[in-house]
Every structure is written in structure tokens, then in C-alpha cells.
Amino acid sequence: MVDVPVSAKAITLDLLRDARETVRTSPLGVINTPMIPWCQTTLPLNIPCNIHIKLENMQRTGSFKVRGVANQFARRPKGAHFVTMSAGNYGKSFAYASKHYGSKGKVVMPETALVSRSTLIQNFGCEVERVPTTCLMNVVNRCVQEENMTFLHSYDDLDLIAGHASLGFEVLEVMPQPDVVVVCCGGGGLLAGVAAAIKLAGCEKTRIYGVEPEGACTMYKSFIEKKPVSMDTKSIASGLAPPFAGTLPYELCQLYVEEIVLVNDEEIKAAVSTLYRAGLLVEPSGSAAFAAIANDRIPDIAGRNVVVILSGGNIGKDELTNFPD
């Protein structure tokens, strides 16, 4: 197995600020995405708080993942041969960066991932191998041991998490003292990075919540068992359904995250539809945080300033037919 020997104590404010500058100046063209009040959309909501939405669905490659990838690739040798595992969004950003930096890349994908996402990654020049979800790490380890590839983790990596923290700093530029921040959680890289940035920047009173699908609640179960756990995951939000919670993300979430809350697939579907009616194209994984707000999973938000991260917009028009009007 590939170990992650880094402790959460290694994540400092200076380290995150340095990563933020790396992301900001990356040749990959990472965008400081808009953060707007919900009232600027076309749809009224009957939720008694001041909601702001951070539009990472408008990010380069269609999701927040390029932030972490920008920091990872900036700190790795150019031209290396990398392997990763991804259901789609990280793989897309990884493949985009591999092409830019002239690196060889391979993405190990769960066989449940959309074929269209595999094709997109291959079009960037990366090899794709589709395997059962439970075999992802075994195949990655084989590539490392037998083919001498370097593993870039899609969520359990210090450089990646530090890159994702740039999103947290951007939130604070618009709202310096948010009351509540709600972030989706799969393996935990985004949640850990955003939470660390906000808390280390001095927002001690800000409550940060992670949101997972009921059928892929590895971080939720990790909080209960007080250690990172694995499980057989299944959700319409495939980007939030890795087979295990990350070790470093778990440690950071234990330090900085108030609670992990759960939403079901029907609530995620409804959130995709609501956001679409508001003029926003957001994929199921990117809609989970909004689903938590819309279904009253976050406590004590009446009258509060609440930031909701819409983490990605990689959804095709054919997929939209599966969601209610």
C-alpha cells in the first residue's frame, strides 16, 4: 500500500499561503471563481439565512480539482510518469495537467464511472484502466511496483490539500468572517483544505460542515470510529464515493470540521434540478452541499451568513434527463 506519513501538524498557514500563490500563478490557468449571493440567481429560496454560493462549477476543467493538481504538478519533476485513481473530475484535471507539463499519465477508474469521462481523459493523452472500485488501490500499487510510476493521490496528499485551500482563502476575500461554510466530502481533500485555510486564517467561530451521500459516507463513519475507514460505496454522486476516507484529510477534518452530515441520492437529484432552474449547471457531486442546506441538515443557520461550495459542473445533457423537472 501507499502510505501517507504526513501529519496534520505539517499543514501551517504559511504552507497554505505559499500553495495559494502557486495555484494563483499556475500555468494551468486556475480561476478565482465568483462567489455570489443566492439572491442574484433567478430562483427564490425559502431558507432563512444569507446564502452565498462559490461557483467552482465555472472552474477550469469544470471542478475545484485543478487547484490541487496545480500545486501537485508544480512540486513534481516535469516529464515523470504518473498514475492516479479517479471517478472523473480529478482524472480530468490530472490529464489536463499531464498534457500541459509533457508528463505521461495513467488514470485508474472505477468501472461504474461514466464512459464519457474515460473518453475525455483519453483525449488528453492519458491511459485509462477501468476496474472494480474495491480494486483501485491494488491496480495503482501494481503500476508503482511493476511499471515504476509515481502515484499522485486524488485526495490524500499534502500538496493537493494545500492547493485546495486556495478556495478557502478566496471565500474569505469576499466574506472575511462567514458564520457557516458547507463543503461536499468524498475522500476529504477539498473539505480538509478549505477548513484548514479558514480556521488557520483566524476564523475560530466559523462552523464548517462536510456533506456526504448516505451510500458513500466514509468520513462520517470515520468520525464515529475515530479512524479512517473504508466501505463499499454507491451513490449518484460518484465523485463523492471513493472506497475509503483519506488519512490526512481525516486528521484535518477532526481538527477543523464541526460535523459531517448526510444527504440521500433523491435529495442530491432534487438539488441538481433546483440549481438548474436557478441557471446553474452543477453535477450531483457538486450539488451535495446545497442539498444539505435545502433539506435542513445544517443546524442554527437562521439569520447567518452561509457559504455553500458548488464544487463542480461536469454533467452532460444526456445525464440531465435523469433528474426531475
Q: How many CA atoms lie within 13 A of 115 on its CB side?
A: 1
Strand 81-85 and strand 150-151: the pairing is parallel
**Of 150, 186, 124, 137, residue with least CA distance to 72:** 150
pLDDT, tens digit, 9 for 90 and up, residues 67-109: 999 999 999 988 889 999 998 899 999 999 999 999 999 999 9
Given the C-alpha cell 501537485, which residue does it identify?
72
Residue 170: its pLDDT value, please? Answer: 98
Residues with Cβ within 8 Å of 190's Cβ and at least 6 positions away in sequence, in order, are 64, 68, 155, 164, 167, 183, 184, 309, 311
Measured distance CA(141)–CA(129) in Å, rounded: 13
Residue 325: its pLDDT value, please? Answer: 67
Q: What's the CA dihedral at 317, 185, 243, 57 to 10 degrees?
A: 20
Residue 3: its pLDDT value, please? Answer: 46
Mean pLDDT over residues 44-63, rounded? 95
Residue 5: its pLDDT value, please? Answer: 53
Are 250 and 195 in contact by the 8 Å Cβ rule? The answer is: no
* pLDDT for residue 29 is more than 80: yes
Mean pLDDT over residues 119-128, rounded? 94
Q: Which residue has the higher pLDDT, 116 or 176?
A: 176
pLDDT, tens digit, 9 for 90 and up, residues 228-283: 999 999 999 989 998 899 999 999 999 999 999 999 999 999 999 999 999 999 99
* pLDDT for residue 323 is more than 80: no
Mean pLDDT over residues 210-222, rounded? 98
In this structure, is the dihedral angle defined by the CA atoms of residues 234, 138, 190 and 313, taken in order, positive or negative?
negative
Mean pLDDT over residues 155-167, rounded? 97
Measured distance CA(312)–CA(275) in Å, rounded: 12
* pLDDT for residue 171 is more than 90: yes
Are 49 and 106 in contact by the 8 Å Cβ rule? The answer is: no
* pLDDT for residue 2 is more than 50: no
Residue 1: its pLDDT value, please? Answer: 32
Measured distance CA(114)–CA(170) in Å, rounded: 31
pLDDT, tens digit, 9 for 90 and up, residues 108-120: 998 888 888 899 9
Cell of 149: 510510476
* pLDDT for residue 226 is more than 60: yes
Are 276 and 43 in contact by the 8 Å Cβ rule? The answer is: no
What share of the chain has pLDDT > 90, as a percent?
A: 83
**Within the chain, where are the H helices?**
13-24, 65-74, 89-101, 115-123, 136-147, 158-174, 189-200, 218-225, 247-256, 265-277, 284-294, 317-320
Sheet-wide strand order for 104-110: 127-131, 104-110, 81-85, 150-151
Phi then psi for 296, rounded to 5 degrees?
Answer: 60, 40
